[in-house]
Amino acid sequence: MDYQLDLDWNDFLQRYWQKRPVIIKRAFKDFKDPLTPDELAGLAMETEVDSRLVSHEDGRWQVSHGPFESFDKLSENNWSLLVQAVDHWHEPSAALMRPFRQLPDWRIDDLMISFAVPGGGVGPHLDQYDVFIIQGQGRRHWRVGEKKALKQHCPHPDLLQVEPFDAIIDEEMEPGDVLYIPPGYPHEGYSLENALNYSVGFRAPSGRELVSGFADYVLAQELGSQRYGDPSLALRPDPAAVLPEEIDALRAMMMDLVQQPEQFNHWFGEFISQSRHELDIAPPEPPYQAGEIYDLLRQGDQLHRLGGLRVLKVGEECYVNGEQIVTQHKQAVAVLASAYAIGGAQFGEALDDPSFLALLTALINSGYWYFKN
């Protein structure tokens, strides 16, 4: 399905993005759910899929993690099933991500879908990332509070909530409505009837993640082998003292690693193009031969990108699932990053280059792109 989001993006970015939460009524006209609650439950039974069931009764919260074998013993109230990265596993649901490509691909993370019965929710909490919540079937009541310091507590080891808050948004959402919540704003939603919700989450790496990831890259690439030196060393009154200029020199050694654009860009491309969740990778059996792929594309068949696959450009280089795509045909590779369905003509003359065709064959045989049957 081709989902059309009725949103003035320039106005939204200026007034709301990372500034204020907002409900956009009827953002999707005549909204149709891409899957049923039964299909979502089926995904939660799969080992590779990240899912959890959250319930509460008389103030007591329970959390259990999938894969689940059955949902037969659940009550009719006060529980919610949440399934992460559904765009990786269910192609019609992945279409819900496309309208949000007005925002950078590298910032978009995944699609979480929840099904809740009346009273179902995960309690008041806050997130450290931006999220768009799309209301599917049913109605859900949402409250969003002001961004301020709130005490957090764990009513269950796997559940982090915040203390009660005053609402600046207090509304019911109906099919097609969209709620945008920036990082740090407390919120809670409870279903008024059986309801589906779709959460488009965004990636916001912390400084800790960046430093850790870059340090791993430095070690793997055997960078930073230069050692500290002090040819101008002079006597000092206190041998136990580390002088400010020595600290500055040590810091400069570390900063020099980060300030190498080629190395930093290459690391970031690998780092940010990796998915945080399992991909539904199914390499073709038997593998394609290059000639077969050439013929299929020339005959009008289209290549389709695997759901959840991250294909990103950093400068002129392109990265897919943590690996750089090395080729001289930059424009042809840019098509892999920009389009979800690709015909042979979009590759231009690159398709007639055996080296590019071999690269494309390897990507397809890795399960990253595929031909629909």
| DSSP per position, 162-209 | E----EEEEEEE-TT-EEEE-TT--EEEEESSSEEEEEEEE----HHH
Please determine, for residue 172, whether its predicted confidence score (pLDDT) is greater than 80: yes
In this structure, what token pair is assigned to residue 219?
A: 């070690």
Report yes or no: 341 and 352 within 8 Å, Cβ to Cβ. Answer: no
pLDDT in tens, 259-292: 999 999 999 999 999 999 999 999 999 999 999 9
Please tell me whether residues 84 and 144 are part of one structural domain: yes
> What CATH number is given to the structural domain containing 165?
2.60.120.650
Please tell me whether residues 243 and 190 are part of one structural domain: no
pLDDT in tens, 124-163: 999 999 999 999 999 999 999 999 999 999 999 999 999 9
Please tell me whether residues 49 and 163 are part of one structural domain: yes
357 located within any domain: yes
Sheet with 140-145: list strands edge to edge. Answer: 167-173, 140-145, 187-191
168 located within any domain: yes
285 located within any domain: no
Please tell me whether residues 175 and 42 are part of one structural domain: yes
177 located within any domain: yes
Please tell me whether residues 149 and 297 are part of one structural domain: no
Please determine, for residue 373, whether its predicted confidence score (pLDDT) is greater than 80: no
> Taking residues 38-43, what's their average pLDDT?
97
Please tell me whether residues 235 and 316 are part of one structural domain: no
Please tell me whether residues 70 and 151 are part of one structural domain: yes
Number of structural domains the chain divides into: 3
20 located within any domain: yes
In this structure, what token pair is assigned to residue 181?
A: 């919540």
pLDDT band at 346 (very low <50, low <70, confident <90, very high): very high
